């Protein structure tokens, strides 16, 4: 079975003309895995990854999370992959996911913080 890259879901990102950096909006993201697909969920103006998961009612395995910056077209431009609750994600997994959708964000991550459960799920899916 070939793993699918579901379209990312990004919500509540907005831009202020009074901001010093008005070409980017920031929020949190998580990547989930459900049987044969992975999907990125991102939300601005939220305090925790737990709140993000509850907001979207995310199902499946939570593979990891972090912070995200998107441009005014809602294209991801920067990812910092680390969540205290859910760990980091491997660089190549994030890169492949975004390249599949035509995006090439800069990615910063802490490879040593990837959880064993995430590595096992990704290996079963042949992504790692």
pLDDT tens-digit map of 50-75: 999 999 999 899 999 999 999 888 88
Number of structural domains (the chain) is 1
Q: Does residue 3 fall inside a structural domain?
A: no
Cβ pair 56, 9 in contact under 8 A: yes
**39-48, 87-96, 106-115: the lowest-pLDDT one:** 106-115
Q: Does residue 89 fall inside a structural domain?
A: yes
Q: Does residue 2 fall inside a structural domain?
A: no
Closest by CA to 56, choosing from 77, 25, 88, 30, is: 30
- Residue 15's pLDDT band, with cuts at 50, 70 and 90, is low
pLDDT tens-digit map of 26-57: 999 999 998 889 999 999 989 999 999 999 99
Rounded distance between C-alpha atoms, residue 11 and residue 52, angstroms: 10
Q: Does residue 70 fall inside a structural domain?
A: yes
Q: Does residue 117 fall inside a structural domain?
A: yes
Angle at 62 between CA 58 and CA 67, to 5 degrees: 90
pTM, full prediction: 0.87
Number of neighbours of residue 124 by Cβ within 10 angstroms: 11
What CATH number corresponds to the domain at position 36?
Answer: 3.50.20
Enclosing domain of residue 34: 8-13+22-124
């Amino acid at each position: 079975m070939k793993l699918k890259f579901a379209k990312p879901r990004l919500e509540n990102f907005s831009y202020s003309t009074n901001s010093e950096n008005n070409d980017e909006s920031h929020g949190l993201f998580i990547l989930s895995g459900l049987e044969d697909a992975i999907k990125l969920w991102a939300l601005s103006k939220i305090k925790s990854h737990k709140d993000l998961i509850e907001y979207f009612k995310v199902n499946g395995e939570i593979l990891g999370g972090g912070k995200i910056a998107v441009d005014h077209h809602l294209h991801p431009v920067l990812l910092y992959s680390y969540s205290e609750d859910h760990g980091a994600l491997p660089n190549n997994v994030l890169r492949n996911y975004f390249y599949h959708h035509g995006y090439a964000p800069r990615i910063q991550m802490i490879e040593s913080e990837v959880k064993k459960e995430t590595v096992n799920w990704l290996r079963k899916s042949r992504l790692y």
